[in-house]
Amino acid sequence: MAQDQKDQSGFALPAPQTAGASAASAANVTSTSSSVTQTQIVTSTTAELSVDTSSRDLMIGGAILLVLFVAFFFAKGAYANTLVSKRVPPNKANAAGWWLFVFLASLAVGVVLSAVNPAKFLAPLIIGPLAVVAVVAIVLMILSSRK
Cβ within 8 Å of residue 31, ≥6 positions away = 37
Q: What is the pLDDT of residue 26?
A: 52
> CA separation (Å) from 100 to 18, 27, 104, 140?
55, 66, 6, 9
Go through the chain and tell me how many residues it has: 147
Please say if the pLDDT value at position 23 is more than 60. Answer: no
Please say if the pLDDT value at position 27 is more than 70. Answer: no
Q: What is the pLDDT of residue 37?
A: 42
Cα 131 to Cα 66: distance, rounded to the nearest angstrom: 20
Q: What is the pLDDT of residue 15?
A: 77
Give exposure, 39-50, as e/b (b: 16+ Cβ within 10 Å).
eeeeeeeeeeee
pTM metric for this prediction: 0.64
Please say if the pLDDT value at position 13 is more than 90. Answer: no
pLDDT digit string, tens, across residues 36-82: 444 444 444 444 445 566 888 999 999 999 999 999 999 999 999 99
pLDDT digit string, tens, across residues 82-137: 999 999 999 999 999 999 999 999 999 999 999 998 888 889 999 999 999 999 99
